[in-house]
Structure 1
Amino acid sequence: MKLKRYLWIAVCLIALAVSMLPAYSEDFFQHHREFRRFLQHHTGFQVSTLGALNVGVYEAAATLAELKSHGDFGLGTFEGLDGEMVVLDGKFYQIKSDGVAYPVKDNSKTPFSAVTFFRQERSLRLTGRMNYQELRSQIDEQLPTSNLPYAIRLKGTFPSLKVRSVPKQTPPYSPLGEVISQQQVVFELQNVQGTLVGFRLPQYLKDVNAAGYHFHFITSDRHKGGHLLDGAFLNPVVDIETLRDWQIMLPSNTAFEEASLE
């Protein structure tokens, strides 16, 4: 009799648990989906490392189609170090060494890039005219910490900007520093409207990506741009998102595997 009673209690408990499972599962998975969306909107995704790019690993590591699944805002370069990449509002542009911005297809490839799904969290309204160093200092003063990555967007009219691009390289590839010092093409833009797309990364990531500020520019008409070297900024509005996660996809190619990255 006791055995039957225990079996009956066990059956009742199982039935109760099963009856509660759908509601529990729905609630659980809803929270899980919300958490994933939170992470997606506060996550930086990077292809390869700056260290690899520095030593000349310019071979493709991902397609733009793959990159799109991880962000709609960011920067980088293209296979063979072929110009500067700007990712804005989900569209990809290639700033070649003529300073012109070209739309690019999903099957284009990148050896190094960083993107995120940009969602503005705060805006800093800075006053007065300032150079690039002063801009960075004023932003730093208003950030809550220097130990987290930030995605940063500046829109407006800029009194002047100095930007650069580089021509496509052919194997055997020279280190990045040599390419920049010997082949970069610099453009001076005056009273130009457009958007600066970039990141501010902590110093502890310096061997992974560019520590500090890194911006690429594209004009409002999407015709010109480049990697920001210097500029003048008048009453800039700086939109910022704090990134709570930073992911890296390492290349699957021989060049990366055999590179001296110690």
Structure 2
Amino acid sequence: MQKRHITFCLLSMFVLCCNATIAQQKTKPAGTGDNLFSAGFASGFIGGLYDNWYPYRQLQKHGDFGLGAPGHLDGELLMLHGKIYQTRATGKTTLVADTGKLPYAIVCFFKAKRTFKHTGNLNKTALYALLDSLLSNQNGIYAIHIKGDFKLVKTRAFPPVEKPYLPLASMLSRQHFFEHTNLQGDLVGFRIPAYMEGAHISGYHFHFLSMDKTAGGHLIDLDAADITIEVDTLTSYTMDLPQTADFNNFDFKKDRKEEIKSVENGKKQ
């Protein structure tokens, strides 16, 4: 009888463990492993879709690392270690409460698969050339975390706007630029392949956050000193789209490649 009782207890424990595993699998969000998740369509956002629609809390189910924009174009967003930071046109950077919504963001669950260290000065052009030499798959999707010492970081943020919205490239004169010298911080970004252009912004795209979490914004230029580069290779991408009248009526036939370049670099091309 004692042996039967022990066997029954072990069997019960096994069943409970299996049920717990199944429950975890059912509650785990889809597409979280090595997946790039996008809330919104890049060319739509660039073209003027600035209304809030996607909840921060929902975004955090799809990633702990990424970048985006707040509603009404009120600055720039960065996600690092699951926390979201907003840099406004005043230059002030603050932690964002997760109760709000946003118009556009791309995130992933970041896990560094490769790490590189570099000593010596690098401007943005030289940094991108170095990254190109390290990221050999031209059609790969890469999440990139760069941390270390910076002699200079130049960033930007847009002020909030109201409807009727203009495309971002038509509002470059409204940008606010910030120059930060001799500080430590993090660059959060991605390199997106050319075949994903439109749905995403192809090429490199970085936002900055200072170590003390008081400065940030969209990266315009830099002078890096000693840095560590962490790379995560992503193998899939998923997207949620706004279910709004503005999105349904948006003209996606227009080629916005030049507009995207202008917005990315902060000046007309």
- Answer whether TM exceeds 0.5 for this pair: yes
Q: Structure 2: where are the runs of 5+ without partners?
A: 1-13, 254-269
Q: Structure 1: where are the runs of 5+ without partners?
A: 1-21
Counterpart Cα distance in 1 of 2:51 and 2:29: 32
Matched length: 235
Give 1:237's aligned residue: 228
Counterpart Cα distance in 1 of 2:39 and 2:126: 30
Quote the sequence identity (%). 34
Summarize deviations over 1:40-82 as a string: whole Å, max 9, x none.
2311110111110121011123010110111111100011111
On the 8 A contact 2:29/2:62 being kept in 1, the answer is: no
Give 1:98's aligned residue: 90
Counterpart check, 1:194 vs 2:177:
no
On the 8 A contact 2:149/2:226 being kept in 1, the answer is: no
On the 8 A contact 1:64/1:109 being kept in 2, the answer is: yes
Within 5 Å, which residues of 2 pair with 1:44-55? 44-55=36-47
Counterpart Cα distance in 2 of 1:144 and 1:105: 38
Summarize deviations over 1:89-110 as a string: whole Å, max 9, x none.
1111111001111121222111
Counterpart check, 1:182 vs 2:170:
no
Q: TM-score, normalised by structure 1?
A: 0.84
Counterpart Cα distance in 2 of 1:81 and 1:248: 20
Question: Moved runs in structure 1, 4+ residues, more than 6 A?
Answer: none
Q: TM-score, normalised by structure 2?
A: 0.82
Counterpart Cα distance in 1 of 2:227 and 2:70: 30
Counterpart Cα distance in 2 of 1:167 and 1:100: 12
Give 2:257's aligned residue: none
Counterpart Cα distance in 2 of 1:37 and 1:182: 40
Summarize deviations over 1:157-195 as a string: whole Å, max 9, x none.
10101100011110000101112x120000011011111
Displacement of 1:143 after TM fit?
A: 1.3
Give 1:173's aligned residue: 165
Give 1:255's aligned residue: 246
Within 5 Å, which residues of 2 pair with 1:123-142? 123-142=115-134
Counterpart check, 1:206 vs 2:219:
no
Within 5 Å, which residues of 2 pair with 1:47-86? 47-86=39-78
Counterpart Cα distance in 2 of 1:155 and 1:100: 21
Displacement of 1:235 after TM fit?
A: 3.3
RMSD: 2.2
- Greater Rg by CA: 1
